[in-house]
Amino acid sequence: MLPSLPLEWVYGEKIPFQESNLVEFKEVTVFAGLFKHKSLGSSGLPKYRETIIGFLNGGQGYLIMGIQNDGTIVGVENITDDIMDKFNLWIDGSFNNLVYKNGKPIDPSNIRIKVHIFPVVGNPSSVIVIEVENKGKIMDIMTRSGTIIYRLNASNFKMTSEPVYRKRDVKGMINSIQGRMQTVIDEKRKTIERLQDKHEDEIKEVLKSQSKEIRAYVEQISQSLYDKYKKEEEDRESICSRILKIFYN
């Protein structure tokens, strides 16, 4: 059973109950920083979401913002209408990825999440209380990735079940796989083309080197034939000279 909330929230005083499987304290000094000054991962919002889901699986719970771990009231500053609109949209969006363990969508008529804002006496700040109630079965809500979050004492715990995917999730995965396969095919084709270009260049180099060798061989043969022809001419001239000498002598 949820504890009764204080009628008055006084700065520096402690609230009359502690954290438990039904209550979670969060010290948030600058509420706007959750959405403006920090990334989503470091803002604390993912942990808040886990706590809310844990409360749903336990049936009910309070997430109280502006309270230190020991229960001291410090309040939350800079609560504007714009920031609260963003916070409420974030809460609503937190359940788009939730289903029952049988894979069916969450029944909104069984879920109640209400945000209360209380002024802090003695400090220009407020306390935000997120009240969570699940009228359906407990321990029956999980994320589509198959994670069930539940509360034990004052902590969140997770256990894994089989993932449940929507049709558009499956279609997205198929498209992603097809995209990756096409990328691999394109890379393989480019690799083959690069190899072909490389071997074509190598073949040209071989032919070019062979052409040099052939030219050298032809030049060698030509020179040899020229030398042989020249020697024969010289021999013929020598014979003619000897014949003439005999004839005139």
* The predicted structure's pLDDT at residue 120: 95
Say whether pLDDT at 35 is over 60: no
**Cβ 10 vs Cβ 121: under 8 Å:** yes
pLDDT tens readout for residues 155-195: 999 888 666 655 556 566 666 667 777 777 777 777 777 76
* The predicted structure's pLDDT at residue 222: 62
**Cα dist from 86 to 96, 107, 189, whole Å:** 16, 23, 48
* The predicted structure's pLDDT at residue 207: 57
| Total number of residues shown for the chain | 249
pLDDT tens readout for residues 192-229: 777 667 666 666 666 566 656 666 665 676 667 666 66
pLDDT tens readout for residues 66-116: 999 999 999 988 888 888 888 888 888 878 888 998 888 889 899 999 999
Say whether pLDDT at 128 is over 90: yes
For residue 63, what are its two tokens? 């997430």
For residue 171, what are its two tokens? 């279609």
Say whether pLDDT at 62 is over 90: yes
For residue 127, what are its two tokens? 């306390």
DSSP 3-state assignment of 211?
Answer: helix
Structure-model confidence comparison of residues 204 and 139, the more confident one: 139
**Cα dist from 205 to 202, 213, 216, whole Å:** 5, 12, 17
Say whether pLDDT at 6 is over 90: yes
The backbone torsions φ and ψ at residue 72, rounded to the nearest 5 degrees and listed phi first, read -75, 135
* The predicted structure's pLDDT at residue 141: 92
Structure-model confidence comparison of residues 59 and 145, the more confident one: 59
Per DSSP, 124 falls in state: S
The CA-CA-CA angle for residues 95, 98, 103, to 5°, reads 150
Distance, in Å, from the CA atom of 93 to the CA atom of 4, rounded to the nearest integer, reads 28
**Cβ 30 vs Cβ 83: under 8 Å:** no
For residue 59, what are its two tokens? 């049936």
**Cβ 65 vs Cβ 44: under 8 Å:** no
